[in-house]
Structure 1
Amino acid sequence: MPVVAYVGYRARKRQMKLILHIGTNKTGTTALQQFLSINRKKLGKHGIYYATPPDTHNFNSVVRAPRRSMDGAPSWALLPRYHLVARQDEILGKFFVDHLVHAEREGAHTLVASSEALYCMPIHLHNPGDKNVCVDTLAQIECLRAAIPSSVNCRIICYVRRPDQYLESLYTQCVKQGMFTGEIAEFVNIVDDMLDYHRCLSMWQKVFGGSNTEARVYETALPNLIHDFLRYVLHLQESSLFAKASPRVNERLSRDLIESIRLLNKDIPCSKRTFDQRIYALVDERIADPSSNHEYLSPDERAGLLSRLEPSMKRLRTEFALPAFPQFDYEAAKAAWRSYPGLSFERIQEIECHYKDAQAHMGFRLERVFKRIASIARRKLPFLSFVLDFVRASGMHRILLVAVKRFK
């Protein structure tokens, strides 16, 4: 394991603590991250420093920082097989050390960082089947640990939900973001290792220590995961002192729109697929009587999946002292089951009409132009990346986007 170059960091007499929230996906992570971001100053009064790159609400971009392999293909692994332009451990090391220095300067005793991209390092969700991507999760976790100064006391926090519901929610997210265009049965084979919570978290235990790795059941934390995180992770009891995050975060799209996106993207190369959450949300609002059927697994498929994962879930509950996941009532599910009929021709036409109308809005068109220009500039004129990074870090791009929204 390589030694991080940033070895000059020295903690003060009071040991700095790092709380690393690793997900999982689809457990309210976006809402939690936005809450932590908008309450940075108030958290600072309690000695807690929330670490992110400038102008973002998590550090996914650091974890997923793309680097080019020898054949020019993007690689998202922390420890790729091919020579990279920049070492991922150095990127992570600089991120943590820089924020640890800032945290100590502000008098904080605890640093919090959140990225759902860390759980199981789900790089196989990007271009599934890509053989050029390293999937040695344990080595990636070891790389992450090596990037954090050894003097820092690390605590790993992971929320998990019942695997079948996690699978369905993750599937819809990957479909709507253009990352996957197949049926859910094929998707299960790709993300099967991510559903084995015990296996994944055992690797975190091995690297960070059993006493420093904690799992919490998402369903038990409801109806308010933010309150659960404040009380049981940050040990802050007065949640009313903090500003509330937007209630409309990463909302679920209708089944009809998800299916339409999946079919549309099947004929579009992965590199050219686009995802604009605001456009899709606008389209979803305009669909007349959309399908509310969000059960992608039949009762038999659901029961089979849970039965196969039960030994792992039992070990997880035992080792992490977790409450049981909500029970699946097979008979009730079978009685209520209605398979999704698919999209009618009329529904496809309706969605296409709403989508074209939403895309034609001047504000969305200008925003796409800005993003396209920035993307081309980074690719064709690498030296401009420093200017674009400065614009992003300074918040100037957000001012431009706010101005653009006036056209929407």
Structure 2
Amino acid sequence: MSSDDLQVAPGTRLLHIGPHKTGTTALQSALHTARERLADHGVLFPGTGRHPMAAVHAVIGRPPLLGHSRPNLDAWDGLVEEVAGAGADRAVVSSEFFADGDDDAVPRIVEDLGGPNVHVVVTLRPLAKILPSQWQQYVQNGLRMRYDAWLDTMFNKPPHTGPTPTFWRRHRHDELIGRWTSVVGPANLTVVVVDQSRPEMLLRTFESLLGVPEGILVAERSLTNRSLTSGEAELVRLLNKEFRRRKWPEKVYPRFIRYGAIAQMRASHEPLPEEHRITTPAWALERAAEIGAEAAEAITRLGVRVVGDLSSLGRTPPGDARPPAATGTPLVSPDAACQAIIGAIAASGAAEGTPAVEDLQVRDADAATLVRVLKNRGLRRARRSLRRGR
């Protein structure tokens, strides 16, 4: 399919709905960086940031991230007004949280953004690739369930239940596409199957859709959105358990955990080769491939436009077919632990008078021991601040 075949008509509102873990952050960062260059070519990327999260949370009517208050519809109304002001120019709006919209939210979103002028784009990856990334994202939002237990719940319990009911709403991809196709029609929906062997494929496809020159969208190289290692995820999971055990108020979770310990660890710690990534057991990979194959067949029957190899959704990606990870508590490097401590202390506003990181004597240890270090040494001042926040 040529670039001209992909290009949407002038006045189109290109609505990228994700879902999560399909290259959304990389795309949004590239669009954000190129905002002025896009405008020179008649393409509006509304807002001032990378992602209109507040606006989308408001219109889908679903709870925002743990600890955040629900935004009101003013944010959504402002986004709609800016998109409407684009006139005959093209506009592109991207948020993976659109995928959380239900049967009532989807028609409103489409109508508000331009009705028949809306063209929806869905980006897809094999489910096997999504599983560990999505689990750790839930952990970064307070989930306390281990990966193996979570997989058992997702595959062996009724869908839309358990601690993460949004998972299958986002990642039963045929149903997601069917939900949006029923509103915009198959001619107004494009599926882009991301090709892991061609990292630039997603950006080049969106350039073609928007009718802008190749190279306008450039990937932003950064550590801040990297995946957590197995040990880091376990550290955060145990912090979540401690957070809940102490009944600390949810409103302080973003400050101390998400934008404190986790953000500092991801931004400042580069994992060592011996720090293992999260691995998925063979039985779950097989189930994921089966569901992916079913979804690919159903998407084909919907008659939507597809860019990429849809059949790849039913295959286990190379390198993922491995035995389950060894049992036992994963290791966390001293650097990762220290960065978590630094982040938590900095977020507490209590850096003065706390012991220096080098005095903590943190060495390679299991995650449970490191949480005790965090609890007993690094967060003394933070706990006092938390009590005052109740």
TM-score normalised to the size of structure 1?
A: 0.66
Which residue does 1:280 correspond to in 2? 265
Cα shift at 1:20: 0.6
Q: Distance in 2 between matches of 1:181 and 1:329?
A: 25
Whether 1:216 and 2:181 are equivalent positions in the alignment is no
Whether 1:316 and 2:302 are equivalent positions in the alignment is no
Which residue does 1:356 correspond to in 2? 341
1:325 to 299, 312, 316: 312
Which residue does 1:203 correspond to in 2? 179
Task: Please give the per-residue CA displacement for 1:228-265, whole angstroms capped at 9, x wherever unaligned.
Answer: 333432133421x5565234451112111011111220
Cα shift at 1:327: 5.8
Question: Judging changes above 3 Å, is the alpha-carbon distance between structure 1 residues 138 and 222 closer, same or farther for their aligned structure 2 residues?
Answer: farther
Which residue does 2:111 correspond to in 1? 146
Q: Do the aligned partners of 1:32 and 1:225 also contact (CA within 8 Å) in 2?
A: no
Which residue does 2:62 correspond to in 1? 76
Q: Distance in 2 between matches of 1:28 and 1:109?
A: 25
Cα shift at 1:330: 10
Which residue does 1:292 correspond to in 2? 276
Q: Secondary structure at the match of 2:80?
A: helix
Q: Distance in 1 between matches of 2:94 and 2:238?
A: 33
Q: Do the aligned partners of 2:15 and 2:93 also contact (CA within 8 Å) in 1?
A: yes
Q: Distance in 1 between matches of 2:317 and 2:195?
A: 19
Task: Please give the per-residue CA displacement for 1:289-329, whole angstroms capped at 9, x wherever unaligned.
Answer: 5432421x311221123224532221214433542216646
Q: Do the aligned partners of 2:127 and 2:313 also contact (CA within 8 Å) in 1?
A: no
Q: Distance in 2 between matches of 1:242 and 1:280?
A: 28
Q: Do the aligned partners of 2:186 and 2:305 also contact (CA within 8 Å) in 1?
A: no
Which residue does 2:378 correspond to in 1? none
Amino acid in structure 2 at the alignment position of 1:42 = R
Task: Please give the per-residue CA displacement for 1:161-185, whole angstroms capped at 9, x wherever unaligned.
Answer: 1122222211111112324544322
| 1:1-400 matches, cutoff 5 A | 16-52=11-47, 55-65=48-58, 76=62, 88=73, 92-101=76-85, 103-104=86-87, 109-121=89-101, 137-150=102-115, 153-179=117-143, 181-182=145-146, 183-185=149-151, 186-187=153-154, 189=159, 190=165, 191-219=167-195, 222-239=198-215, 241=216, 244-269=219-244, 271=250, 272-273=252-253, 274-276=257-259, 277-281=262-266, 284-285=269-270, 290-295=274-279, 297-318=280-301, 319-320=303-304, 322=306, 323=309, 324-325=311-312, 328=315, 336-343=322-329, 347=332, 352-360=337-345
Q: Distance in 2 between matches of 1:253 and 1:204?
A: 32
Q: Secondary structure at the match of 2:93?
A: strand
Report percent identity of matched pairs. Answer: 16
Amino acid in structure 2 at the alignment position of 1:223 = P
Cα shift at 1:46: 0.8
Q: Distance in 1 between matches of 2:288 and 2:112?
A: 36
CA RMSD of aligned residues (A): 3.6
Q: Do the aligned partners of 2:294 and 2:314 also contact (CA within 8 Å) in 1?
A: no
TM-score normalised to the size of structure 2?
A: 0.68
Cα shift at 1:220: 6.3
**What 5-or-longer segments of structure 2 have no aligned partner?**
1-8, 65-69, 160-164, 352-390
Amino acid in structure 2 at the alignment position of 1:343 = T
Cα shift at 1:205: 0.8
Q: Secondary structure at the match of 1:223?
A: coil
Q: Distance in 2 between matches of 1:97 and 1:330?
A: 42
Q: Distance in 1 between matches of 2:97 and 2:240?
A: 23
Amino acid in structure 1 at the alignment position of 2:117 = N
**What 5-or-longer segments of structure 1 have no aligned partner?**
1-13, 68-74, 79-83, 122-136, 369-408
**Number of residue pairs matched?**
312
Q: Distance in 2 between matches of 1:349 and 1:220?
A: 32
Q: Distance in 1 between matches of 2:278 and 2:134?
A: 12
Question: Judging changes above 3 Å, is the alpha-carbon distance between structure 1 residues 367 and 167 closer, same or farther for their aligned structure 2 residues?
Answer: farther
Task: Please give the per-residue CA displacement for 1:344-378, whole angstroms capped at 9, x wherever unaligned.
Answer: 6x7498854542244445xx55599xxxxxxxxxx
Q: Secondary structure at the match of 1:267?
A: helix
Which residue does 1:386 correspond to in 2? none
Q: Distance in 2 between matches of 1:57 and 1:249?
A: 14
Cα shift at 1:280: 1.7
Q: Do the aligned partners of 1:171 and 1:187 also contact (CA within 8 Å) in 2?
A: no
Task: Please give the per-residue CA displacement for 1:120-169, whole angstroms capped at 9, x wherever unaligned.
Answer: 33xxxxxxxxxxxxxxx11110121232344x611001101112222221
Q: Distance in 1 between matches of 2:27 and 2:109?
A: 22
Q: Do the aligned partners of 1:303 and 1:330 also contact (CA within 8 Å) in 2?
A: no
Q: Distance in 1 between matches of 2:197 and 2:212?
A: 15
Q: Do the aligned partners of 1:97 and 1:149 also contact (CA within 8 Å) in 2?
A: no
Q: Do the aligned partners of 2:17 and 2:122 also contact (CA within 8 Å) in 1?
A: yes
Q: Distance in 2 between matches of 1:168 and 1:311?
A: 21
Question: Judging changes above 3 Å, is the alpha-carbon distance between structure 1 residues 304 and 175 closer, same or farther for their aligned structure 2 residues?
Answer: same
Q: Do the aligned partners of 1:181 and 1:266 also contact (CA within 8 Å) in 2?
A: no
Q: Distance in 1 between matches of 2:213 and 2:344?
A: 45
